[in-house]
C-alpha cells in the first residue's frame, strides 16, 4: 500500500444531480429555478435545488413551504428516485471502469482511489479529466471533481470550483490550499464547533493551525485531535468500497438552544430528508426510526419506533421522527442537539408508502 502522501484520491460530486437529470430530459425547464421535493403545501423537504433556485436562497433539506415562499415562480417537481438511481448506476459504472476502489457517499457523490489505477492516463489529473469527459458525453451531465492526497482534501477541492469544475491539489500544495479557507469547510465543523472556534479567535484553517493540540483536546475532547490533524491536511481514512452499516443517521448541535417547537420541527424535517437521501444513495431501507434530543443541561434522551415495513420515504421518516419528538420534553425545554437515525437496515426491499396524505 502506498503512503498516505502518495495517494491519489478523487471526490466526484455531480452538479445539482436531481434537478440536472430533469432539466436534461425536459428542455422546457432548463435555465429555470427547479426545486425537487415535497409539495409546497405539504410538510415535505427540498431534496435538491438547481443553481437558479439557489439564487433565491432555496437549498436542500429546507422545508418545501419555505422554498415556495422564497421562490414562488420555481418549478416544483416530485422526486423520482428510481430514475436517479438508474442514472447514478450508469455514472458509477464509468467510475468503476477506472478503479474498483469506489466508495459511494450518496447517489451523486463518491470517493475514488486511483493511486494504483492511473494507466493508461498517467496522472490523477488526466483520470479526472477523462471521468468528466465521459460523464458529459455519455450521460449529458456535469460532475465536479477534486483531486488530492486524501479524502479530506479531495472533498474540499471538488466544491472549490463548482459547478462543472476540476480542482487539483498536489501534496506539496495542501497547506497553501487549506490555510485561507474558513474553518467551517473542514469536516466535523458544524455551527456549534464553529462558534466555539470563533471564541478562540479561529476563523480560518490557518488560525486553527495556531491552536495547540492540548487546547483543542481540552476544549473538544477527541474531536479536538481530529481538528488538529485536519487543519494540517492529515487524513488517513481509506476509500472503502464495501461497508455493512447497522444504522444511518444525522444530527445537529446548535450554536444557540432551540426553544420554539416550530424550529425543532423544521430541523427534524431537514435531518429526516438527509437520512432518506443517504438510504436512497446506498440502496437501503430502514424499519426503525430513532429521535435523539439533548437538553441544555446535557441530558440526552432517545425515542424509537419500528415501522410495519422497511422504508426510505423521506416524508414517512420525518412524520415518525416528529411523532417521537412529541414523546420528549422538547417545547417545554430547549434543545441543544437533535438527531434522526434509521436502523434495522436492509438492502433494497419494499418501500412503505406514506401513511399520511401529502396534499
Kindly list the catalytic residues.
109
The cell numbers describing 331, all together, are: 417545547
C-alpha cell at 245: 452499516
Candidates 3, 1, 6; CA nearest to 172 is 6
- The sheet with strand 75-77 has its strands ordered as 46-49, 34-37, 75-77
For residue 18, give the H/E element and its range.
helix 17-25
Residues 6+ positions from 97 with CB-CB distance below 8 Å:
none
3-state SS, one letter per residue, for 128-184: HHHHHHHHHHHHCCCEEEEEECCHHHHHHHHCCCCCCCEEECCHHHHHHHHCCCEHH
Q: Strand pairing partners for 63?
A: 45
CB 102 within 8 Å of CB 242: no
Collapsing DSSP states into helix, strand and coil, what is residue 87?
A: helix
Residue whose C-alpha cell reads 498517467 in the numeric block: 122
**Do residues 258 and 338 lie in contact, with contact meaning Cβ atoms separated by under 8 Å?**
yes
The DSSP line for 264-331 is HHHHHHHHHHHHHHHHHHHTEEEEEEEEEEE-TT--EEEEEEEEEEEE--HHHHHHHHHHHHTTSSBT
Cis ω for the linkage preceding 163 (within 30 of 0): yes
Look up residue 335 and give its DSSP letter: E
Amino acid at each position: 500500500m502506498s503512503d498516505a502522501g502518495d495517494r491519489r484520491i478523487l471526490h466526484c460530486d455531480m452538479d445539482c444531480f436531481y434537478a440536472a437529470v430533469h432539466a436534461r430530459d425536459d428542455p422546457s425547464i432548463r435555465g429555470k429555478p427547479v426545486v425537487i421535493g415535497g409539495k409546497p403545501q405539504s410538510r415535505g423537504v427540498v431534496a435538491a435545488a438547481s443553481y437558479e433556485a439557489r439564487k433565491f436562497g432555496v437549498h436542500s433539506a429546507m422545508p418545501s413551504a419555505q422554498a415556495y415562499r422564497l421562490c414562488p415562480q420555481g418549478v416544483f417537481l416530485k422526486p423520482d428516485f428510481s430514475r436517479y438511481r438508474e442514472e447514478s448506476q450508469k455514472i458509477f459504472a464509468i467510475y468503476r471502469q477506472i478503479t474498483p476502489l469506489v466508495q459511494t457517499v450518496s447517489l451523486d457523490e463518491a470517493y475514488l482511489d486511483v493511486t494504483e489505477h492511473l494507466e493508461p492516463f498517467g496522472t490523477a489529473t488526466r483520470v479526472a479529466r477523462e471521468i468528466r469527459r465521459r460523464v458529459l458525453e455519455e450521460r449529458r451531465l456535469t460532475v465536479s471533481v477534486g483531486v488530492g492526497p486524501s479524502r479530506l482534501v479531495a472533498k474540499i477541492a471538488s466544491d472549490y470550483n463548482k459547478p462543472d469544475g476540476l480542482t487539483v491539489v498536489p501534496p506539496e500544495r495542501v497547506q497553501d490550499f487549506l490555510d485561507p479557507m474558513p474553518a467551517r469547510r473542514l469536516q466535523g465543523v458544524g455551527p456549534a464547533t464553529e462558534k466555539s472556534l470563533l471564541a478562540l479567535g479561529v476563523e480560518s484553517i490557518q488560525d486553527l493551525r495556531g491552536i495547540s493540540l492540548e487546547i483543542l483536546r481540552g476544549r473538544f475532547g477527541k474531536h479536538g485531535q481530529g481538528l488538529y490533524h485536519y487543519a494540517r491536511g492529515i487524513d488517513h481514512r481509506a476509500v472503502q468500497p464495501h461497508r455493512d452499516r447497522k444504522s444511518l443517521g444525522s444530527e445537529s448541535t446548535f450554536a444557540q438552544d432551540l426553544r420554539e417547537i416550530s424550529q425543532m420541527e423544521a430541523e427534524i424535517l431537514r435531518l429526516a430528508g438527509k437520512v432518506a437521501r443517504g438510504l436512497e444513495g446506498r440502496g437501503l431501507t430502514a424499519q426503525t426510526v430513532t429521535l435523539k434530543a439533548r437538553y441544555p443541561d446535557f441530558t440526552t434522551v432517545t425515542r424509537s419506533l419500528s415501522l410495519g415495513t422497511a422504508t426510505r420515504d423521506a416524508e414517512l421518516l420525518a412524520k415518525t421522527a416528529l411523532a417521537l419528538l412529541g414523546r420528549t420534553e422538547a417545547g417545554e425545554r430547549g434543545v441543544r442537539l437533535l438527531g434522526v437515525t434509521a436502523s434495522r437496515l436492509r438492502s433494497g426491499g419494499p418501500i412503505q408508502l406514506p401513511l399520511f396524505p401529502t396534499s
